[in-house]
Amino acid sequence: MSQRITVVEKILGANEQLAAANRCLLDKAAVFSLNLMASPGAGKTSLIEQTLEALGGRYKVAAVDGDVATSIDADRAAAAGAHAVQINTGGECHLDAVMLSQALAQIDLDATDLLIVENVGNLICPANFQLGTHCSVLIASVPEGDDKPYKYPGMYQGVDALVINKVDLLPYVEFDMDYFRRGVEALNPGLISFSLSCRTGEGLSEWTAWIAQQVERQTEVE
């Protein structure tokens, strides 16, 4: 006899439960955490380096770097002063909550103020997998083009903050900032954004001030 069973269950529900457990761990240790997402080459690692330099040892920072292969990014984050953990995803195009929980086990969270997770460079898949971090940050970069919100709505729609990197290249490339911002606003109304250049340092202070504010707030909660 055939029978229909109503399920109505989110297919990534298991990942979301584990993400919630990660969040619990981070909150308990009063760690503020960021999930940096961007296409390859947008400047995720550079932003981590510049942020660490600007914060100048004010906070104890841990970095989790997700890449398909190599430890280049973790090495750069470590050189900039972070306790760095590399995750090689072995071909997976994104980090998920399981990978982050394994990385968290290698970090002394009680001795950490700020956790920066550098996701795999990709504008599609990371948007679907919650990690449990407090804030998802998308880094767009000027040379990528102004049409990215229109092409990757899932990514732009799901983030909590936006960094527009490489603004020093605006005079040299075709990038219609109004068109770009209209797309962002449609997908994610009121999204907080920071225009900066990791190369020249322009705009970085607003970004790092915001990070510091979030870290302080998380520490106060404790």
- Point out which residues bind other proteins (CB under 8 A): 1-15, 92-94, 96, 122, 124-125, 127-129, 149-150, 153-154, 157, 182-183, 185-187, 189
Output the smallest distance, CB 13 to other proteins, in A.
8
Q: Which is nearer to other proteins, 153 or 203 (CB)?
A: 153
Output the smallest distance, CB 86 to other proteins, in A.
20
Output the smallest distance, CB 87 to other proteins, in A.
15
Q: Which is nearer to other proteins, 13 or 56 (CB)?
A: 13
Q: Which is nearer to other proteins, 113 or 118 (CB)?
A: 118
Residue with tokens 């907080």, as numbered in its chain: 192
Output the smallest distance, CB 181 to other proteins, in A.
8
User: How far, in Å, CA of 88 to CA of 95, rounded?
Assistant: 9
Beta strands 135-141 and 83-88, pairing class: unpaired
Output the smallest distance, CB 55 to other proteins, in A.
33
In sequence order, the 6+-apart residues with CB closer than 8 A to the CB of 101 are: 18, 21, 22, 25
Q: Which is nearer to other proteins, 125 or 170 (CB)?
A: 125
Structure tokens at 14: 């298991």
Q: What are phi and psi of 64, to 5 degrees?
A: -115, 120
**DSSP string of 185-207?**
HHHSTT-EEEE--TTT-TTHHHH
Q: Which is nearer to other proteins, 82 or 184 (CB)?
A: 184
* H helix or E strand, kind and range, residue 115: strand 114-118
Which has the closest alpha carbon to 49: 72, 27, 22, 82? 82
Instruction: Say what angle helices 44-55 and 72-79 make with each other, to 10 degrees.
Output: 10
